[in-house]
Structure 1
Amino acid sequence: MTVSDRYRTAWDGFWEQDSGEPGEPFWDADPALTARRDLDHLAPYADHTLPVADLGCGNGTQTRFLATRFAHAVGVDLSAAAVAHARRGDPDGVAAYEQLNLADPVQVGTLHERIGDANVYMRAVLHQSDPEDRPAVAAAVARLVGTQGRALVLEPTNEAKEVIAAIAAQPGGPSPKLRRVKEHDLRPGEVAEGEVATLLRTAGLTVIDEGTTSLAMSETRLDGSPVELPGRWFIAGRL
């Protein structure tokens, strides 16, 4: 299975016009507000001697932080331009980065054969995936965790669209970061209530824990505070 040409072209176009600097994309918040906080949910369940796979790693901002908490970190992204940014942003090689199509079970299987069972960090990927690709993405998570790993999956809820709409309606209109998202046809889709848990269970995983969260963006409000999108987190694995 392969992702749609529209999806691949949209992401390649976005990252090709990005500098690769942390914080430039709308969602690329400092790890202190994202991965560091997110790992509080995963830590009680994960074996930190296993590697961690950052799915949809983009320019590697979160991957580099994850590498400080696990034995080895690998970031994967559909876009070759994103992977190139991640590698340039990590001259010391604290993590590895690969181009990978999560909807392709052969590519995912090859990665699993190479790194073994792994923990998975996947932040706001499913809602950006075309609906027909979501079962394959969930299956990729299941393949990578194997029998020993644990996955942390975070997704914005439908209420996040209201927050984004309010930001776009601020005086002066959408910010440059939001405009870039729209210009490159990155269309966030709705993930229905219960859909993430259903996708994970259908892929053969048990949802071990879940809860509400806020997903910090690199975008700020007029008062300088970070934009945060309502979201949910899920810990999944095989028991």
Structure 2
Amino acid sequence: MNVGRALLIPHVVRLSLRAPRDVTVRWDRYWASTTATGDTGDVLWDASSTDEPQRYVELLAAHADPTLPVVDAGCGNGRYTRALAGRFDRVVGVDIAAAAIARARRESAGVANAEFRVADLTDADAGRALHDELGDCTVFVRGVLHVLGPEAARRTAATVAALAGRRGTVLLAETDYRGPLLGYLESLGGGPRGLPAPLARALSAGLPRPHRFGDAERDAAFPPDRWERVLVDHTAVIRTVPLRTPDVPDTVPGHVAVLRPR
């Protein structure tokens, strides 16, 4: 391990010690303490650039049934929910954190076809209940599965399957950084002097640490015998807010896949 990476460890440990134990509480406190979103805000993954959301909208326009409602699973402050609402008639953002949903509703005021619900995606009953209301859905998942362990990812996939039903299409967009956690933090501007504020804030809130999410992880959660791979992009990137250079969003290697139930 190089010296710079070794000096990063105390910063990570110090920040992580502040977090409450319950994951739901962590997410809710994180969003409740958020003062601003977008490129100059507090939320690491909430870049304001439109190219990433526009690509997802175009992929779903090309591959999903346009008559189905869209569920934005893990919607946070609703940035992608609003982008999807620009193309589809009904979009429902779902998040485990009540504070995230409250912020999404505020930031989405005036977007008549975007609505928001609090739900735990690891609970398949939540997916079945929403399916009972909406019927088969298109499901969009960005930046959720890569912070879940294998069992939680499988439970979330079961929720997604319940929402998709027989006619739905699923779009996954996850980070797929292939090195160790410290290398990931370094790639986003971490170093001996500490971490950029949005990154430090995520660590101090105790948000789950990222894991790689590639072919193996996708197949474990969405087995090929039950899900058709319509499209897989191993060259995708996930944007974060600017961390090292003002006005220049940073990027993380990504994995994008469009899936359909068999």
TM-score, normalised to structure 2's length? 0.82
1:91 lines up with 2:109 in the alignment: yes
1:6 lines up with 2:28 in the alignment: no
- 1:15-72 per-residue CA deviation (whole Å, 9 max, x = no partner) reads 1101253442010112613211223333321112211100100011110111111120
1:106 lines up with 2:106 in the alignment: no
Alpha-carbon contact 1:197-1:207 (below 8 Å) kept: no
Matches within 5 A, 1:1-239: 6-19=22-35, 21-23=37-39, 24=41, 25-30=43-48, 32-94=50-112, 95-159=114-178, 161=181, 162-169=183-190, 173-191=194-212, 193=214, 194-201=216-223, 204-212=226-234, 213-222=236-245, 224-239=247-262
Local SS of the residue matching 1:39: helix
| TM superposition shift of 1:119 | 0.7
CA distance in 2, matches of 1:50, 1:92: 22
Gaps of 5+ in 1: none
Task: Choose 163-172 or 137-146, whichever is displaced more.
Answer: 163-172
| TM superposition shift of 1:155 | 1.1
CA 1:43/1:93 → structure 2, altered by over 3 Å: closer, same or farther?
closer
Misfit runs of 4+, over 6 Å: none
CA distance in 2, matches of 1:174, 1:9: 23
CA 1:223/1:176 → structure 2, altered by over 3 Å: closer, same or farther?
closer
Task: Choose 95-104 or 121-130, whichever is displaced more.
Answer: 121-130
TM-score, normalised to structure 1's length? 0.89
Query: What is the identity, as a one-letter code, of the residue corresponding to 1:174?
Result: L
| TM superposition shift of 1:171 | 8.1
Local SS of the residue matching 1:159: coil
Alpha-carbon contact 2:154-2:221 (below 8 Å) kept: yes
Local SS of the residue matching 1:135: helix
Local SS of the residue matching 1:54: strand
CA distance in 2, matches of 1:156, 1:28: 14
More strand, by proportion? 1
Q: What percentage of residue pairs aligned between the two structures are identical?
A: 30
- 1:60-115 per-residue CA deviation (whole Å, 9 max, x = no partner) reads 11101111111200000000000010111122143000001111122111101111
* Equivalent residue pairs, number: 236
CA distance in 2, matches of 1:149, 1:44: 13
Local SS of the residue matching 2:22: helix
Alpha-carbon contact 2:125-2:159 (below 8 Å) kept: no
Instruction: Tell which structure's C-alpha radius of gyration is larger.
Output: 2
What value does the CA root-mean-square deviation take over the aligned residues?
2.3
Alpha-carbon contact 2:230-2:257 (below 8 Å) kept: yes
